[in-house]
Amino acid sequence: MAEEIARTASASSSVLRAVLDADRVAALKRIYQFLKDGKDRILAANRADMAAAEKANVAGPLIKRLDLSKGDKFDTMIQGVLDVAALPDPIGKVQFANKLDDGLDLYRITCPIGVLLVIFESRPEVIANITALAIKSANAVILKGGKESFHSFAAISELVREALADTKIPSGAVQLIESREDVSALLSQDQYIDLVIPRGSNELVRSIKNGTKIPVLGHADGLCSVYVNEDADAEMAAKIVVDSKTNYVAACNAMESLLIQRSALSTLLPAIAKALTEAGVTLRATDEVLAALVAAGVESNGQALIVPAADKDFETEFLSMEVAVTAVADVNEAVKHINTHSSKHTDSIVTPSKAVAETFMSGVDSAGVFWNASTRFSDGFRYGFGTEVGISTSKIHARGPVGLEGLTCYQYRLLGHGQIAGDYVGAGGSKEFKHQKIEL
């Protein structure tokens, strides 16, 4: 069964890569309309998933990720389909051109990766996001949702299938599977599947990385930090820190560690700590930070919101209203701390100094490094990618929020007129290469 699914996707990929962008865009617009018209049907299914999750005592962060009715989440999901449709065609772009000799021209052209396998937990909006990105980038995709989003998955996938029925997209280009047993079997289909993208808990990501020979794009943890330098504006720092922590605590780009320059413990820390505790955040503080809070008379409104930190707290993705807090000597120590403890996702500095900010951004080895901005901006939608396929903390192929560009690779195309290598230097001949750049 799994091999048949993978083989079908591979065959469909060969057809899809030649489908015109106009036809891919038309398909995405149909998906948008079908999902919009089916909103009540999708949200009813989502409520069934929410009820089942609460009854099964599913962890709070997972339930939050599951909820499609929260705020503008549904509207953002379907708008993402249109946003992707409106992006320039990422396929067939010339990245590099070189004249090897007269009548022998080399081009590097963007092309689809091929077949994607996307496995996710809780987040039902992933179906719409990934389907849009896959179709726009001319990739075939196999989607597998978690049991937590079973009803939502079924409703959305049915609407997607209905929308694609009368389009130029091959029927096997978007496959949505529900069988849990298919996953491990699909992970062995490296002959047909080109890239695996896991979306979910660190356990899920690690399990997939350990269980396949297929390249995996993803991240296991979102251990994001904010460092506040001594010269930072207190109001700005508090605003950025609170947003980074509380805007959406279950997100992988939420702040989990707060670093304060030691010289600012009596000046900036009290206001920042007060803003966090007023927002309901528990501070897991080192002894030095605790002493500074006591000296400044910072209280936690009678609640146990300021507690001692353990070493493990600085390597914990809380995904809740908790943050680990420590003091560092300067920006260089902040960089060292982050590179030692972070997951290389997203980290931010608050300072008016360009020199200090440049030291931080050059030194921190993370996919996203921000200056005077919330870590929550680390997102494909906010970056203008339309939506994202996921966040990558690896350094090969794609890094950070991955949009259309991250779902393409390239091929070299050589246009000749009967030349053979044997005529040239290095292969037995005497002719020299010209190697002249072709202006694009």
Per-residue pLDDT at 64 exceeds 90: no
Q: Are residues 272 and 191 in the same domain?
A: no
Amino acid at 30: R
Residue 422 placed within a domain: no
Give CA torsion, residues 28, 33, 38, 39, to 10 deg.
90
- Residue 54 belongs to domain with CATH number: 3.40.605.10
Residue 62 placed within a domain: yes
Residue 212 placed within a domain: yes
Nearest CA to 52 among 158, 126, 124?
Answer: 124
Q: Are residues 400 and 347 in the same domain?
A: no
The range of the structural domain enclosing residue 344 comes to 224-383
Q: What whole-number distance in Å separates Cα of residue 338 and Cα of residue 272? A: 20
Model confidence at 303, in pLDDT bands (50, 70, 90)? low
- What integer pLDDT is reported at residue 381 of this predicted model? 84
Q: Are residues 191 and 208 in the same domain?
A: yes
- The helix/strand/coil state of 360 is helix
Q: What is the rounded end-to-end Cα distance, in angstroms, of the chain?
A: 46
Residue 342 placed within a domain: yes
Q: Are residues 297 and 180 in the same domain?
A: no
Q: Are residues 294 and 163 in the same domain?
A: no
70-to-18, 47, 73, 248, 382 alpha-carbon distances in Å: 39, 11, 6, 11, 18
Q: Are residues 242 and 275 in the same domain?
A: yes
Q: Are residues 276 and 405 in the same domain?
A: no
Residue 430 placed within a domain: no
Strand partners, 284: 307, 324
Q: Are residues 393 and 379 in the same domain?
A: no
pLDDT tens-digit series, residues 390-430: 888 887 788 888 889 999 999 999 999 999 999 999 999 99
- The helix/strand/coil state of 273 is helix
Q: What whole-number distance in Å separates Cα of residue 324 and Cα of residue 226? A: 11
Instruction: Look at residues 383, 402, 433 and tell me which one is the last residue of a structural domain.
Output: 383
pLDDT tens-digit series, residues 367-381: 999 999 999 999 988
Are the beta carbons of 375 and 258 closer than 8 angstroms? no
Q: Are residues 238 and 209 in the same domain?
A: no
* Chain CA centroid to CA 287, Å: 35
Going along 46-201, which residue ranges are E strands? 94-101, 104-112, 115-120, 140-144, 174-177, 195-199
Q: In the predicted model, what is the mean pLDDT of residues 209-227?
A: 88
Phi, psi at 196, each rounded to 5°:
-105, 135
DSSP 100-112: EETTEEEEEEEEE
Q: In the predicted model, what is the mean pLDDT of residues 302-313?
A: 86
Are the beta carbons of 283 and 257 closer than 8 angstroms? no
- What integer pLDDT is reported at residue 300 of this predicted model? 60
Are the beta carbons of 411 and 109 closer than 8 angstroms? yes
Q: What whole-number distance in Å separates Cα of residue 106 and Cα of residue 104? A: 7
Residue 135 placed within a domain: yes
* Chain CA centroid to CA 284, Å: 27
Q: Are residues 100 and 171 in the same domain?
A: yes
Residue 434 placed within a domain: no
Q: Are residues 330 and 344 in the same domain?
A: yes
Q: Are residues 199 and 80 in the same domain?
A: yes
- Residue 314 belongs to domain with CATH number: 3.40.309.10
Model confidence at 366, in pLDDT bands (50, 70, 90)? very high
Residue 241 placed within a domain: yes
Amino acid at 218: G
pLDDT tens-digit series, residues 343-362: 999 999 999 999 999 999 99
- Domain count of the chain? 2
* Entry pTM: 0.82
- The helix/strand/coil state of 20 is coil
Nearest CA to 197 among 271, 281, 133, 106?
Answer: 133
**In 76-114, which positions are buried (b, 16+ CB within 10 angstroms) versus exposed (e)?**
ebbbbbbbbbebebbbeeeeebbebbeebbbbebbbbbb
Return the residue matching tokens 């030194």: 363
Are the beta carbons of 121 and 147 closer than 8 angstroms? no
Q: Is 130 exposed, middle or buried (0-12, 13-18, 19+ CB in 10 A)?
A: buried
